[in-house]
Amino acid sequence: MSEWMNTYRDKLKKVRQENLEGGGPERMKVQHDLGKLTVRERIDKLFDPDSFRELGSIVRDLRPATVRGKITENSVCDGVVMGFGEVNGRKTAVYGTDFTVMSGSIGNQAAWKIADFIKLVGRMRVPLVALFDTAGLRVSFTEGDVGGAGLSAILKYHAINSGVIPQIAVVSGPCTGMMAYAASLCNFLIMNSNTSFLWFGAEKKSADSGTSYRNMVTAGQCDIEVDSDENAIEQVKNLLDYLPQNCWEKSPVKHTNDPFNRKNDELNNIMPNDDRFTYDMHEIIDLIVDDGIFFELKEDYALHLITGFARFGGKTVGLVANNPDELGGIFEPDSSDKYDRFMSILDAFNIPLLTLSDTSGFVPGDIWERRGILRHGAKLLHTYSRCTIPKVTLQLRRSYGGGNMVMGAKGMGQDIIYAWPTAEFAPTGPETVLQAVFHKDLKKARENGNYDEIHDNLLAVLKDQFSVMTCARFWTNLYTANEVIEPKETRKILISAFQFLENKHVELLKNKRAIKPT
């Protein structure tokens, strides 16, 4: 090999060595002391061994040299490591900010480097993982925000790729300013409860501002909360297993030893004898999904609605369920938003929807009208009606009013409605109907001293009329089911239904785009 070539090889070796060292051993030690991995350590744990191929590793940003007349820090890779490889054998792309290099701040070269990469990944139709550990835009004393124009492109391409490829954000440290928007534009957001901080700006006025707790429990932006970088990467891998490569492909099928026709006698006894009592819907979910594995999202936000991924017969299904154990499974703005976003993700990536319904409907009252309960409910009706994926409903107990509609009532575009014999369909709860329709009879009974007897007799008549065992006799009723099933047979019947619906094809009326209620 010529001396001429060796000169250039030595330059390349020097650059690569600088890249491995990042911001230097002291900055790496700070990361580790904080309980964080470096960006390259995160990437090594994400990808299959020897599969990651880096792009843009030679990029540097020389603008800091103009700030005070000298280079104050070596902008290795300009603080961004990106490339592609395989995760559990599937092609996947990643970009991550390097907090050891100028606190992971985004300079001009870094911004355009990321933007061009996101654009490329969209064309390649593979999932994108974004690792955030950044102080936001880099600020120059002479030029202001260095990466501003490039950041606009980052946000644009994240938005353009929405619903085209899965985009997963992991926040392991700070993620502030406009970069917080980049994380929020991804389909899924994972946050480290010990080290992450997601914050747009302005003054912090509470101790939990920007924390994963705030973003999970209050704001509902966080999908998965973890306690370490290692667990965050593991959750990324688990999530990818449920998702397709892009919107034109199907999710991977996973082998299971769980029998397709497995019956659960326990399901016959899970419902309380008195419908005034609650139960935890998780108990039912665990008994019907493959191997009892349910990948829940936003599990601490709007607890009365459960969303997440499961498998039935090895195939991915998106599961939405009311949880009677929390606020009676009622709908309000937060649960509506949670449901609407998840449903949109399922429809974008061709993942079937299963709804487990036990709800008294939407919460009434002036305070909720002020919070826009009507528009939140309208969003659900809009999204559910326009979803073209296979949609199966299982009515378990109460199926009242608008809650019945958004969980897949007859006429809403569902494919199959199953019901347990305990299911009830009504415009509102039987007790409310009783008081509205028979208030004169009840008033007279109270005067005659036999209120309880008359009340219970009338309520029994109403509940019989609302029972699925009555409603299902009429195929054309607004409230009805296509088939009533025994609870223990639920798993095998649902698997058969999704197999039957696998090649469903629906075309909506052609338009440029639908306009969702605000």
Q: Tokens 């209050």 identify what position?
A: 218
Say if 516 falls within a structural domain: no
Residues 220 and 361 in one domain: no
Residues 327 and 452 in one domain: no
- Helix, strand, or coil here: 37? coil
- Domain holding 444, by residue range, is 429-466
Which pLDDT value is given to residue 254?
95
Residues 228 and 285 in one domain: no
Return the biggest CA–CA distance within the chain.
111
Beta-bridge mates of residue 191: 171, 225
- Cβ within 8 Å of residue 208, ≥6 positions away: 214, 218
- Cβ within 8 Å of residue 166, ≥6 positions away: 127, 128, 187, 188, 240, 243, 244, 245, 246, 349
Say if 330 falls within a structural domain: yes
pTM over 0.85: yes
Residues 215 and 277 in one domain: no
Residues 387 and 398 in one domain: yes
Beta-sheet pairing, 353-359 with 315-322: parallel
Residues 109 and 238 in one domain: yes
Residues 305 and 454 in one domain: no
pLDDT tens for each residue of 358-409: 998 888 888 989 998 999 999 999 999 999 999 999 999 988 878 888 998 8
Q: What number of CA atoms fall less than 13 Å from residue 155's CA on the CB side?
A: 13
Say if 512 falls within a structural domain: no
**Ramachandran assignment for 156, one of left (phi > 0), alpha (psi -120 to 50 degrees), beta (any other):** alpha
Which pLDDT value is given to residue 348?
97
Q: How many domains does the chain have?
A: 3
- Helix, strand, or coil here: 505? coil
The three state secondary structure string of 367-405 is HHHHCCHHHHHHHHHHHHHHCCCCEEEEEEEEEEHHHHH
Which pLDDT value is given to residue 142?
46
Say if 323 falls within a structural domain: yes
**How many C-beta neighbours within 10 Å does residue 302 have?**
23
Q: CA 274, CA 234: separation in Å to the nearest integer?
A: 42
Residues in the chain, pLDDT under 70: 1, 62-73, 140-147, 202, 429-432, 434-436, 478
Residues 474 and 455 in one domain: no
40: domain CATH number is: 3.90.226.10
Render 429-486 in DSSP notation, one character per residue.
Answer: -HHHHHHHHSHHHHHHHHHHT-HHHHHHHHHHHHHHHHBHHHHTT-TT-SS--SEE--
Residues 52 and 198 in one domain: yes
Say if 506 falls within a structural domain: no
Q: Give which of 518, 419, 275 is closest to 409, Cα–Cα.
A: 419
Residues 438 and 374 in one domain: no
Say if 255 falls within a structural domain: no
Which pLDDT value is given to residue 1?
63
Say if 77 falls within a structural domain: yes
Say if 510 falls within a structural domain: no
The torsion angles phi and psi of 210, rounded to 5 degrees, stand at: 80, -10
Residues 20 and 152 in one domain: yes
Residues 274 and 183 in one domain: no
Q: What number of CA atoms fall less than 13 Å from residue 395's CA on the CB side?
A: 36
Q: Give which of 254, 237, 252, 250 is closest to 349, Cα–Cα.
A: 250
Which pLDDT value is given to residue 65?
47
The three state secondary structure string of 235-277 is HHHHHHHHCCCCCCCCCCCCCCCCCCCCCCHHHHHCCCCCCCC
CA distances from 330 to 113, 216, 289, 489 (A): 46, 20, 24, 27
